[in-house]
């Protein structure tokens, strides 16, 4: 009886093991990269193309103080705004097989998120914050050989991050000179003009990666009372704001004292250093894509007329945590 009972227990144990799926490999990748002063941001999945086996997981570590998401939408799903998520957000350890959306909330440096891929297929990876930040995960049947190992992806991630940040700046200094070297000259025709960020989109077989300079180029200007300053966004992806005084709870719309000029530029007048004015989202001229409806122009410029002498500090309400700040000195 004892031997029979032991054999029964062993048989049951082997049966349970047969029903339990084998744990797959755990792969590692990163989200975003930044310069030491946070002024240069690589808006990228690093690397942005990975081959794994069905049953494997990938864990992403966030390495930037600009917010990003790790999101897998279903085929044909309309891209939702980043505060909405799938709608809703997923816990780390989520499973994605192409049938149900999986997404992190907006996340910054130190965050991690893991996804299990049980089903073979080719899956697109997106960031809901940045539309030209995408990648591809190729999930192969376990019988197929993988082209690369983890050490390859570690090297590729480091190389892609280095190349993107180097594209923004060749000598490690966030100055007007290096901005010109990296992206071409960004001096506007008006003397009282500020470039609001600079960006560059890079494409490869895995998707799109973007590098952005989160700075006001020539952030300090000196003008005379009665003069105006104009800000223009030069980043093809990232919106920015020009915010004087009180920072609004909702950064998207402009403040109530902003009007629209005949050429479509937004315009405010500040009469005191205690005044507030907020541009809302200022974007670059939108991309046009063949076969899709024409994109609306949107606000690409913001002007402020300063009527009183003083020192007027301002920020980008979206990226002041990265050091995107400036000031206007108004002389009599």
| 195 C-beta neighbours (distance < 10 Å), count | 23
Out of 60-64, 188-192, 273-277, 304-308, least confident range: 188-192
Element holding 8 (H helix, E strand): helix 2-19
DSSP SS3 for 38: coil
For all residues of the chain together, what is the average pLDDT? 88
| 155 C-beta neighbours (distance < 10 Å), count | 12
**pLDDT tops 90 at residue 157:** yes
Tell me the average pLDDT across 209-227. Answer: 94
Query: Per the omega criterion (within 30 degrees of 0), is the bond before 77 cis?
Result: no
Out of 6-15, 76-85, 222-231, least confident range: 6-15
pLDDT digits (tens, 9 = 90+) for 44-79: 999 999 999 999 999 999 999 999 999 999 999 999
User: Does residue 290 or residue 38 have the better pLDDT?
Assistant: 38
Phi/psi for 33 (5° steps) reads: -155, 160
DSSP SS3 for 231: strand
What is the pLDDT confidence band of residue 297, given thresholds at 50, 70 and 90?
A: confident
> Which CATH number is correct for 21-215, 3.90.1720.10, 3.40.50.720, 2.60.40.420, 3.40.30.10?
2.60.40.420
Cα within 13 Å of Cα(279), Cβ side:
30
pLDDT for the residue numbered 258: 97
**pLDDT tops 60 at residue 17:** no
pLDDT for the residue numbered 190: 59
pLDDT for the residue numbered 12: 44
DSSP SS3 for 148: coil
Helices then strands (H, E): number in the chain?
3, 21
- Give the largest CA-CA distance in the chain: 104
Domains 21-215 and 219-288+295-332 equal at CATH topology level = yes
Strand partners, 301: 232
**pLDDT tops 90 at residue 10:** no
Domain extents for the chain?
A: 21-215, 219-288+295-332
pLDDT for the residue numbered 273: 96
Give me the CATH topology for the region 219-288+295-332: Immunoglobulin-like (2.60.40)
pLDDT for the residue numbered 325: 97
Element holding 195 (H helix, E strand): strand 193-204
Tell me the average pLDDT across 131-137. Answer: 94
Q: How far lies 275's CA from each of 77, 216, 278, 307, in Å?
A: 43, 21, 10, 11
pTM: 0.82
């Amino acid at each position: 009886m004892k031997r029979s009972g032991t054999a029964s227990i062993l048989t049951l144990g082997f049966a349970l093991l047969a029903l339990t799926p084998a744990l797959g490999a755990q792969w590692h990748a990163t989200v975003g990269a930044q310069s030491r002063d946070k002024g240069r941001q690589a808006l990228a999945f690093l690397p942005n193309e990975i081959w794994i086996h069905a049953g494997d997981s990938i864990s992403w570590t966030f390495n930037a103080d600009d917010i990003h998401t790790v999101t897998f939408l279903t085929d044909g799903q309309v891209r939702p705004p980043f505060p909405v998520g799938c709608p809703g957000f997923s816990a780390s350890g989520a499973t994605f097989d192409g049938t149900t959306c999986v997404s992190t909330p907006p996340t910054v440096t130190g965050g991690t998120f893991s996804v299990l891929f049980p089903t073979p297929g080719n899956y697109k990876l997106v960031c809901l914050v940045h539309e030209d930040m995408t990648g591809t995960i190729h999930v192969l049947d376990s019988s197929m050989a993988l082209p690369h190992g983890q050490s390859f992806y570690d090297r590729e991630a480091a190389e892609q991050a280095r190349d993107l940040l180097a594209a923004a700046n060749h000598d490690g200094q966030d100055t007007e000179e290096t901005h010109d070297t990296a992206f071409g000259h960004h001096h506007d025709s008006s003397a009282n003009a500020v470039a609001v960020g600079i960006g560059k989109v890079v494409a490869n077989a895995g998707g799109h990666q973007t590098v952005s300079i989160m700075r006001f180029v020539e952030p300090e200007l000196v003008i005379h009372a009665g003069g105006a300053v104009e800000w223009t966004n030069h980043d093809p992806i990232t919106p920015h704001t020009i915010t004087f005084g009180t920072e609004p709870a909702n950064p998207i719309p402009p403040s109530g004292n902003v009007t629209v000029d005949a050429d479509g530029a937004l315009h405010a007048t500040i009469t005191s250093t205690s005044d507030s004015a907020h541009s809302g989202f200022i974007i670059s001229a939108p991309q046009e894509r063949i076969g899709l409806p024409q994109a609306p122009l949107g606000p690409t410029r913001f002007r402020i007329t300063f009527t009183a002498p003083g020192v007027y500090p301002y920020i980008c309400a979206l990226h002041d945590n990265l050091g995107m700040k400036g000031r206007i000195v108004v002389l009599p």
